[in-house]
Homo-oligomer: A and B are copies of this chain.
Amino acid sequence: MDTGTAYGLPEPSYRAELTEVGRGTPCGEFLRRYWHPIGLAADAAGVPRPVRVLGEDLILFRDGKGRAGLVYPRCCHRGTTLYYGRIEAEGIRCCYHGWLFDVEGRCLDQPCEPDGGRHRGSARQPWYPVQERYGLIFAYLGPPEKKPVLPRYDILETRGPGEFIDADDTSIGSGGPALVPCNWLQHFENIMDPFHVPILHGSFSGVQFTAQMGLMPKVDFATTPRGTMTVQDRILPDGRIHHRITEAVFPTLRVVPNPRVAGYGTCEQIGWVLPIDDGNFRIYVAGRTTEKGTLGKGRSKYNGKWWWDLTEAEHQRFPGDYEAQVGQGRISFHSEEHLASSDKGIAMIRRLLKRQIDAVREGRDPIGVGFDPANDLVKLDAGNFLMDAPPAAASGD
């Protein structure tokens, strides 16, 4: 008799507490304890711009005095969207009855009311605080009393000659287009999965990065004061060791050195995986560079083509991270997984994530959150490093 058929499959399910990002959900409240990038600095401008973050629709703008604002889209008067609002020196004005709000939602004018609104002080457009850094606009969507400092990162603060910080919103590292239609965790946990590289990016796609990334590495996984990391050693043909460290910094930062290994040294870029909602994410990147607009120059090709130029048959034949992760479904069914020893990093990052979510639920602060403006610098270890062969037992464990 046949065994193992799909007839007996139980209903699949996923771990909602690790994946869903809406307000009031366990993971959503955890994510809301951090600042998230929600646009390039240039996205806040004189025309209202709709953004979607953690399942919330919001309007981003920049008033005439240069202040960025992020507000709830429905005007607190009659609910018309501020997408049709007009940006003025002091704020954004609703098209319907002209209520004017500043970047913190205060109502400055109600032109259909006597005296511009004698009670306008009691109206408040819901808003969120924003800060600008590294060419990005960061927003804090959490409880006001828990607003942390916006961290600085040593690998972006310390720059070489001619280097500056550039920002990018094309989801470098997603393997596909800027908007990726699956849950953010499918991408984020992938940082802790170095073993897929020789398969997905080697055996399947041909040498997608460099030949040496196709070597099956010796890997250690570890937690850090800010998240998790992999330490990967690949023995090169000349006996030296390619020592590679990738970091998953909570809540969503990918600190992944260039897989093309153009040179050795500390990681040059940070990517923030922004959960748009439960079933979509995008990646904002800030990185050191000497030439504007070149952060994405190492973007992957497939069969010699850009992702967006592939036919469906080519996508099927040359899958990358986008196909593998979106191919897990909108939210992957964890109930059907069979984790193996090479999935140790996946299990580790999920455990750590679970602990942070529990911490928030229990009233504690999650990992990496700080409130001291004088102590806002985060030191990172990620990078590609070249080491001499150890004197003995190099590949032992």
Chain A residues with a Cβ under 8 A of chain B: 1-7, 9, 12, 23, 32, 47-48, 56, 58, 71-72, 74, 76-81, 83-84, 86, 95-98, 104-106, 110-114, 117, 119, 122-129, 141-145, 147, 195-196, 198-200, 203-204, 216, 313, 315-317, 319, 323-325, 327-329, 332-333, 336-343, 346
Contacts and interface: CB of A to CB of B under 8 A. Distances in A.
A256 B3 CA distance: 37
A79 B329 contact: yes
Contacts of A313: 47
B144 A97 contact: no
A297 B306 CA distance: 44
Contact of A129 (B2, B48, B342): B2
Given A1-B144, A7-B23, A144-B5, A78 B323 contact: no
Contact of A72 (B6, B117, B339): B6
Given A84-B324, A145-B1, A338-B76, A196 B97 contact: yes
B323 A95 contact: yes
Given A6-B127, A74-B328, 14 more contacts: A2-B104, A6-B58, A6-B126, A7-B142, A76-B337, A77-B339, A78-B328, A81-B329, A84-B319, A86-B204, A95-B323, A111-B198, A112-B198, A117-B340
Contacts of A332: 78-79
A109 to B, nearest CB: 11
- Label chain A's interface by main secondary structure: loop
Contacts of A32: 7
Contacts of A84: 315-316, 319, 323-324, 327
Contacts of A125: 4
B9 A72 contact: yes
20 contacts: A4-B126, A5-B144, A6-B71, A7-B23, A7-B142, A7-B143, A9-B72, A47-B317, A77-B339, A79-B337, A83-B316, A83-B327, A84-B327, A95-B200, A98-B199, A111-B198, A111-B199, A112-B199, A113-B342, A119-B340
A343 B104 CA distance: 25
A78 B199 CA distance: 14
Contacts of A341: 113-114
A194 B13 CA distance: 47
Contacts of A106: 4
Contacts of A342: 97, 110, 112-113
A56 B6 contact: yes
A183 B96 CA distance: 17
A143 B241 CA distance: 54
B200 A5 contact: no
B76 A336 contact: yes
A43 to B, nearest CB: 15
Contacts of A3: 124, 144
Given A95-B319, A327-B83, A333-B74, A127 B1 contact: no
Given A3-B144, A95-B204, A142-B7, A338 B123 contact: yes
Contacts of A128: 5-7
Given A95-B199, A329-B79, A316 B48 contact: yes
